[in-house]
Amino acid sequence: MEKEEIIQDAGEIPVSTAAVYSESIHEDRTAKMFLISSIVYFFIVGIIALLIAAKFVFPTFLGTIPQLTYGRLRPLHVNGMLFGWLLACDMALMYYIVPRLCGVKLWSEKLGMATAVLWNVIILGAVVSLLMGWNQGWEYAELPLPLDVAVVVAWVMFGANLFLTIANRKYKAMYVSLWYAMGTILWTAFVYLTGNFATLFATGVNQANLNWMYVHNAVGLIFTPVGLAIAYYFIPKTSNTPLYSHKLSMIGFWSLAFVYVWTGAHHMIHGPISQWLQTITIVFSVMLLIPVWAAVYNFFSTMKGQWHQLRDNVSLKFLMSGVVFYLLTCFQGPMHSLRAVNAIVSKTDWIPGHAHMAVLGAFSFFAIAGAYYMVPRVFKTELYSNALANWSFWLFLIGGLGFFVTLWLGGFWQGWQWNNPAIPFIDTVIALKPIWHTRLASGFLMFGGIVAFAYNILATIVGSKGKEVHAEPAAAAA
Amino acid sequence: MSDFNIPSVAFIYAFIFLVAFGALFFFFRTLRDGYWGKNSEDVKYRMLEDDENGGEYGRK
């Protein structure tokens, strides 16, 4: 297809017929199973999120029942959202995207289904173990050792399936999403092994340093590359517009590969690590602006002349809002690494505001957009409700903005107070009450978004049984 | 208790250099495979084509 032809049609909903559906070579059983389970966890862990937000406002809420204390619920929320919802949904989208970009079937649906079953066993095991307090006590690495081993096994199964699909591909040149998919598989292996196994053999500051390297790169080298793989695939697909520059996407990929691994130590600035390591992490953190801007410029340039599509296209709304949040969160990261800024915001509420904008605002928005695009296609039906999809977008956006902005401001306020030794600590806690009230209210809005999204997707799936589709679902372009 | 600090730090630095070496190796392979050449933009048009049946030359 010529470039001019594509751009001329760019305002149209991508056209595909039901006949094409029936001839599809893709079974998508694995993608479906991962997606459905991830959305169920999104809903359940969303309730946990509300409970812990409520505990900031009502500290005696749920009393002293051990399983319902903040110390048990918080790691469940973090692990549930990271691995139960987001990574599982990202894996579903990889099982959808990779075979299509390669022009071949997934290497093994059986292996994929076994991976999905094992992943669900891991998540359910995590729920039980974390509620029971079987916790290794390391940020993002709380799961007990047997579950860590199971994660490694599942990841090898996932990686082998995708690499063999890519090795069997029809086309030699690989689109950038495939590069990011492969990068995710390799970097996750490296990051997860370091964070969950290498830390067991280190002590003191070295152990803490390894842990922060893992925590930061769990976002930077797991959720970032897979999120970008999704964005690079779905932004051109949903807008029916070719990517602005594939070369620029390659620059973004390779600069991310070179830069990201050194940035984790910026969480320990002003801590007991050596000054040279602090300086290195600051330099590499600021250099992150290169891969980030390469990706964001590419996405914005792709949308040049196509912004009107945002009016009716829900997937594109999620994708482009996610790009803006990605830019903002990746501007915050380098700024947070600067010594002067770090002295104020480190360890304050600014950090969860920043982390939620990355994981929810950027990468979950990409995943939700992918789910809205993928579900009608793999179930060969129409989306249950476009209006509900729009509601889910606005609830997520308004709730998310309320959460992020309030916590950034509250974090600065908190940091300034902590830096003043004349203010008693308890006064700094009392002063933050309005921030935590807003956080809870924003949480209710975001949970409303989860409910609308989950109901819409599950109603689409349930309604697809026995339903014939004669045209491309309009909402799928949504 | 044994002190594993030195081996663990050696491990992580070896791992980082292994990853850096791999990144460099594959980066230079992309040069050889034409990802920076004049036809490098073709792939972004191809991905927009219908791919449900394996693309234009899809195989079952």
Encode pLDDT of A88-135 as tens digits: 999 999 999 999 999 999 999 999 999 999 999 999 999 999 999 999
| pTM (two decimals) | 0.90
Cα separation, A68 vs A143, in Å, equals: 18
Note whether A175 contacts B16, CB cutoff 8 Å.
no
**What is the biggest distance separating any 2 CA atoms in chain A, rounded to whole angstroms?**
73
Tell me the two tokens of residue B41: 């933009």
> Nearest-CA neighbor of B48 among A96, A311, A99, A10?
A10
Which residue among B4, B9, B53 sits closest to A25, beta carbon to beta carbon? Answer: B53
The ipTM estimated for the assembled molecules is 0.82
Q: Which of 238-297 (A) contact B at CB < 8 A?
A: 240, 242-243, 245-247, 250, 254, 257-258, 261
- Residue ranges in chain A modelled with pLDDT below 50: 1-22, 470-478
Helices (H) and strands (E) in chain B, counts: 2, 0
H runs (alpha helix) in A197-288: 204-217, 224-239, 246-259, 275-287
Predicted confidence at residue A453, as pLDDT, reads 98
Q: Model confidence over A155-164: pLDDT tens digits?
A: 999 999 999 9
pLDDT at B60 over 90: no
Predicted confidence at residue B51, as pLDDT, reads 66
- Interface residue A25 vs chain B (CB under 8 A): yes
H runs (alpha helix) in A244-305: 246-259, 275-287, 289-302
In a 10 Å sphere around its CB, with 0-12 CB exposed, 13-18 middle and 19+ buried, how is residue A210 labelled? buried
Predicted confidence at residue B53, as pLDDT, reads 55
Q: Could you give the 3-state DSSP secondary structure of residue A72? A: helix
On whether the CB atoms of residues A464 and A380 are closer than 8 A, the answer is yes
End-to-end CA distance of chain B: 59
| Alpha carbon of A389: minimum distance to chain B alpha carbons (Å) | 24
Which residue among B33, B47, B57 sits closest to A101, beta carbon to beta carbon? Answer: B47
| Residue A48 CB neighbours (<10 A) | 20
Q: List the Cα angle A352/A354/A355 in 5-degree steps.
A: 60
H runs (alpha helix) in A419-469: 425-431, 433-463
Predicted confidence at residue A474, as pLDDT, reads 40
Predicted confidence at residue A277, as pLDDT, reads 85
On whether the CB atoms of residues B34 and B40 are closer than 8 A, the answer is yes
Q: Model confidence over B40-55: pLDDT tens digits?
A: 899 999 898 866 655 5
In chain B, % of residues over pLDDT 90 = 8
Predicted confidence at residue B17, as pLDDT, reads 83
Chain centroid, CA A336 distance in Å: 20
Cα separation, A234 vs A64, in Å, equals: 46
Phi, psi of A192 (to 5 degrees): -70, -40
Cα separation, B35 vs A396, in Å, equals: 38
On whether the CB atoms of residues A113 and A30 are closer than 8 A, the answer is yes
